Amino acid sequence: MVSRTQRLSVSWIRSSVVIRFATVLYPVDILGLWRRLPEVGFIVPRTPEEGETVEPKDLPSKGGEIRLAFNPDAKTLGVVGVDPRKVAQNYEELMSFWRDQFDPGPGSSAEYVEVNASGWVQGQASTGHAATAADKIAHWWNKQASSGLAEMTSVLRKYVPQAEAPLVQHGLRLVTPGGHPNSPEWGEFAINQFNPSANRYHVQIIWRAADEHAVISVARTLDELIPALLARIEST
């Protein structure tokens, strides 16, 4: 028998893994790295001139999906693609090559490494009242926090008499405690309806930490983690 989690799968839209360096100056010889990227499988359309603004079409790419991502002003370097597993693998290959071949030294430590991935998941057909992804999320929230929603609805009606129906939760956002979105240590899992009428979820994941290996581990588990989270909502 196929489990509900196995039936749910993520269709990824975009994923990235980047490092933000803790150095004052950008520690990457980007032109030198650019010229040698073919050694790790990248196709380089051309090498830009010093100080030239690079157009997206001129960015080195690999396999038609992976692209180099760099921003000297933000002091970041990494890769962008679709599947977070492939992105994580290519990020590791890029950073290993850079560290081995360019000897950046101990001063090029990370302020943080971040995986940022988005995709969509088709919900299961429902015979009940919760037909759309938004309905299912609201139904799950109502079971978890019905008293809190009722209290908020009561307050709302005092100031907005037109709000006759009880409040419901729209979407789900889970974050790591004690931080904020601009901190170097941050985790966020957002689940919403993909569009206004579909039984389809949109998922957005950000995981940021100074521990590079921990971030890569998260990127590699997203294909299992996201269906596991959505299975709880689907089974409500």
Summarize pLDDT for 140-177 with one digit per residue, the tens: 777 776 666 677 778 877 888 777 776 777 788 889 88
Buried b (16+ CB within 10 A) or exposed e, 209-229: beebeebbebbeebeeebbeb
Amino acid (1-letter code) at residue 109:
S
- Residue 2 has what pLDDT? 40
Q: Does residue 36 have a pLDDT over 90?
A: yes
DSSP string for residues in 57-112: GGS-EETTTEEEEEETTTTEEEEEES-HHHHHHHHHHHHHHHHHHH---TT--EEE
The three-state secondary structure class of 10 is: strand
Q: Using DSSP bridges, classify how beta strands 186-193 and 10-21 pair: parallel, antiparallel or unpaired.
A: unpaired
Q: Which residues pair with 77 in a beta bridge?
A: 19, 70
What is the predicted pLDDT for the residue at 91?
Answer: 97
Per-residue pLDDT tens digits for 86-144: 999 999 999 999 999 998 877 678 999 999 999 999 988 765 656 788 888 887 777 77
Percent pLDDT > 90 in the chain is 48
Residue with tokens 């590079």: 212
- pTM comes to 0.86
